[in-house]
Amino acid sequence: MSARLEDLPLRDDLRGMTPYGAPQAPLPVALNVNENTHPVPQEVADDILDAVALALRDVNRYPDREFTALREGFADYLGHGLSREQLWAANGSNEVLQHVLQAFGGPGRTAFGFAPTYSMYPLLTRATGASWIAGTRGHDYTVSADDAAEQVAAARPDVVFLCAPNNPTGTPMSLDVIEAVYDAAPGIVVVDEAYWEFAPRDERSALTLLPDRERLVVSRTMSKAFAFAGARVGYLAADPAVIDALRLVRLPYHLSALTQAAATAALTHAPVMLRMVDEIIAQRDRIGATVAALGYQPHESWTNFVLFGGVAEPAVTWQELYDRGVLIRDVGIPHHLRVTAGTEEETTAFLDALASIDSRS
């Protein structure tokens, strides 16, 4: 017989929490967790395999604790004059964000984000012992610089998460908002650019704000644009002193030699790895236009997904799509559903399935 969770001497602050649980159902069309549904191109996969095979020869030894080659790879990829002393990486950007919270949040402290935003921020915050403060967004999920600064100044959080562009809404965030929040915040400001590669090319990343802002952190991931979700590689850029703080909380050798080898090899092929981004952007825009034509209200998206409103009963529509072999996400926003842009075929399957259901409100 198995014990119940309530019977265990669990930390009081974890009682009643629910784990992250996006369904992993074996459906033909899975567009629910904002993955890149295109596989890694064969030519890159061959190189990654060679690099992993080489790393295997030394797998009896602990890996490079400082993942030097990988940090250099990220510095090259990001540009903006960054050097490896300003780079950090971990097993997915979730772990990167956890490191930030372990170093700068923790018991008695607070973290803040403008809701609705990435569902892991509150979970990571609470699991590392801090409290979560939810700010609010304005019209169409945007935040203005003045309002954002006012909310942050009032909350005085130790860590602020700015998801730019935002998940689950797709909403862009302009640099003046980030600057205003930084000036108003007493603590660390994390700009989570997990979806940055899907933003318009002529827009400026928060990386351009890093000089002279030692409390600013910009995080990225290889999970989305790089089609590397299964390899678990996220990273951030910040002042070298921030990186030193993260060294205090990471587990020794947290990035396996195989992960380092695979990610470093993939980065040397960045243009090929990113080849599918334009195709995904085209599918995202097609979703926006088609759901609008079907009578729903898509929100502006700078990501690889679309949040659309006007759904009478999201749970019912979600199930009807599921029954047609299409998995999307009910993110808990009334009358809304979120769908990831897939390959052309997957996107067509979703749009055809949605068109066959009358679920407008």
Report residue 176 CA to chain centroid gap: 21
Among 118, 132, 196, 318, binds ligand PLP (CB under 6 A): 118
Q: Which residues pair with 234 in a beta bridge?
A: 90, 221
Residue 301 as a binder of ligand PLP (CB under 6 A): the answer is no
Binders of ligand PLP among residues 179 to 198 (CB under 6 A) are: 192, 194
- Are 51 and 262 in contact, with CB atoms under 8 Å apart? yes
Q: Minimal distance in Å, beta carbon 307 to ligand PLP? A: 12
Residue 229 as a binder of ligand PLP (CB under 6 A): the answer is yes
Binders of ligand PLP among residues 131 to 170 (CB under 6 A) are: 163, 167
CB contact set of 11 (below 8 Å; sequence gap of 6+): none
CA-closest candidate to residue 152, choices 193, 125, 180: 180
- Are 99 and 88 in contact, with CB atoms under 8 Å apart? yes
Helices (H), 112-233: 120-127, 145-155, 175-184
Among 98, 142, 205, 221, binds ligand PLP (CB under 6 A): 221
Q: Minimal distance in Å, beta carbon 224 to ligand PLP? A: 7
- Are 328 and 337 in contact, with CB atoms under 8 Å apart? yes
Q: Minimal distance in Å, beta carbon 9 to ligand PLP? A: 30
CA distance 338 to 272: 28
Window of 72-80, 86-94, 127-135, 139-147 that interacts with ligand PLP by CB under 6 A: 86-94
Binders of ligand PLP among residues 233 to 252 (CB under 6 A) are: 234
- How many residues touch ligand PLP under the rule CB under 6 A: the total is 13
Q: Which residues pair with 87 in a beta bridge?
A: 237
Task: List the strands of the sheet with 305-309, edge to edge.
Answer: 297-298, 305-309, 337-340
Which of 92, 172 has the CB closer to ligand PLP? 92
Among 63, 73, 92, 187, binds ligand PLP (CB under 6 A): 92
Residue 93 as a binder of ligand PLP (CB under 6 A): the answer is yes
- Are 296 and 311 in contact, with CB atoms under 8 Å apart? yes
Which of 38, 324 has the CB closer to ligand PLP? 38
Residue 178 as a binder of ligand PLP (CB under 6 A): the answer is no
Window of 91-99, 143-151, 265-273, 332-340 that interacts with ligand PLP by CB under 6 A: 91-99
CA distance 321 to 180: 42
